[in-house]
């Protein structure tokens, strides 16, 4: 079975969701449902590293890779999560090449800046040699940089040209807010297509958040290959709300 990074590089159509509930059972359920991946949203939900530990364990049990998204101007939060065995990180508000290089420094051992110990789960608790651990992590860890600021649109070429960046992931709500345009709007769609074009120029995969799965086919046809659709909470609320007409009838 291909790992998530290989599937991203192959431009497979991948569909996942955000997880905002700090519970390993959510990871198991979504894995059983057959999603390709999930992103644990540490940026907008109360999920700490101890909870991430259990969710990473559930990820292995369910056979569904998870990534973490977490806010922070420094990148020192990245390596501890990769040590837990998460498949990668989605880093918000990457503005330029300097930001993107800092993300890659935190993800890849080959850059000589990530702290090294094969003792965590990702190193099979010391069961790997240092060399194997470095190689396996660098080969499989996903570095997604989020493009969600108007200023980042002027640096797309520099960001996409970095070899260790695996994906440009578009955050449409923040991007629309930064551009001061509607969400949705034609102006936002044009900006998204600019990001897609920059990715295609440098053979980089493009990801996009969508609130509705009905939007996936159109954006896939335009070059987006990975989609985060809604969240565990939005799915639960939608399913619960669908019961109310039965009660009213």
Identify the CATH number of the domain in which residue 43 sits.
Answer: 3.20.20.60
State the Cα–Cα distance between residues 223 and 206, nearest whole angstrom.
7
Q: What is the pLDDT of residues 24-37, one digit of tens each?
A: 999 999 999 999 99
State the CB neighbour count (10 A cutoff) for residue 124: 14
Average the pLDDT over 42-52 and give the result.
97
Read off the pLDDT of residues 170-181 as tens digits, 9 standing for 90 and up: 999 999 999 999
Q: Report residue 207 as tokens.
A: 């990801």
Mean pLDDT computed over 159-165: 98
pLDDT at 215 over 90: yes
The tally of domains found in the chain comes to 1
Going by C-beta distance under 8 Å and a sequence separation of 6 or more, which residues neighbour residue 166?
5, 8, 9, 88, 142, 143, 144, 204, 205
Q: Which domain holds residue 53?
A: 4-248
Name the nearest CA neighbour of 167 among 57, 69, 53, 48: 69
pLDDT at 246 over 80: no
Instruction: Indicate whether 124 pLDDT > 70.
Output: yes
pLDDT score recorded for residue 2: 74
* Residue 249 pLDDT exceeds 60: no
Interval 230-242 mean pLDDT: 97
Over residues 21-49, mean pLDDT: 98
- 175 vs 94: CA distance, rounded Å: 12
Residue given tokens 């969600």 in the structure block: 148
Q: What is the pTM of this model?
A: 0.97
pLDDT tens-digit profile of 59-118? Answer: 999 999 999 999 876 889 999 999 999 999 999 999 999 999 999 999 999 999 999 999
Residue 96, C-beta contacts closer than 8 angstroms, at least 6 positions apart:
151, 152, 155, 158, 159
pLDDT of residue 248: 67
Amino acid 72: pLDDT = 76
Query: Could you give the CA distance from residue 199 to residue 190 in angstroms, rounded to a whole number?
Result: 14
Report d(CA 53, CA 22) in Å as an integer: 10
Given a cut of 90, is residue 230 above it in pLDDT? yes
Mean pLDDT over residues 122-141, rounded?
98
pLDDT-based confidence at residue 1 (cuts at 50, 70, 90): very low
* Closest alpha carbon to 86 in 52, 124, 126: 52
Q: How far apart are CA 217 and CA 64, in angstroms?
A: 23
Q: What is the mean pLDDT of the chain?
A: 96
- Identify the pLDDT of residue 103: 96
């Amino acid at each position: 079975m291909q790992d998530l990074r290989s599937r991203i590089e192959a431009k497979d159509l991948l569909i996942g969701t955000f997880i905002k509930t700090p519970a390993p059972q959510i990871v198991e359920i979504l894995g059983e449902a057959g999603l390709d991946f999930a992103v644990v949203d540490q940026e907008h939900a109360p999920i700490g590293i101890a909870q991430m530990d259990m969710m990473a364990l559930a990820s292995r049990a369910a056979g569904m890779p998870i990534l973490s998204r977490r806010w922070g101007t420094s990148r020192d939060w990245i390596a501890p999560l990769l040590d837990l065995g998460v498949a990668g990180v989605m880093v918000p508000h990457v503005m330029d090449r300097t930001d993107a290089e800092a993300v890659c420094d935190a993800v890849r051992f080959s850059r000589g800046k990530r702290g090294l110990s094969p003792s965590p789960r990702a190193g099979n608790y010391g069961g790997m040699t240092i060399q194997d651990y470095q190689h396996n992590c660098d080969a499989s860890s996903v570095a997604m940089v989020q493009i969600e600021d108007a200023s980042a649109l002027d640096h797309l070429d520099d960001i996409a040209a970095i070899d260790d960046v695996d994906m440009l992931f578009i955050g449409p709500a923040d991007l629309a807010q930064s551009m001061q345009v509607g969400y949705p709007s034609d102006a936002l769609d044009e900006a998204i297509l600019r990001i897609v074009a920059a990715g295609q120029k440098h053979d980089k995969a493009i990801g996009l958040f969508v609130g509705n799965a009905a939007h996936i086919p159109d954006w896939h046809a335009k070059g987006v290959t990975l989609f985060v659709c809604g969240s565990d909470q939005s799915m639960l609320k939608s399913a619960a709300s669908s019961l109310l007409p039965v009660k009213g009838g």
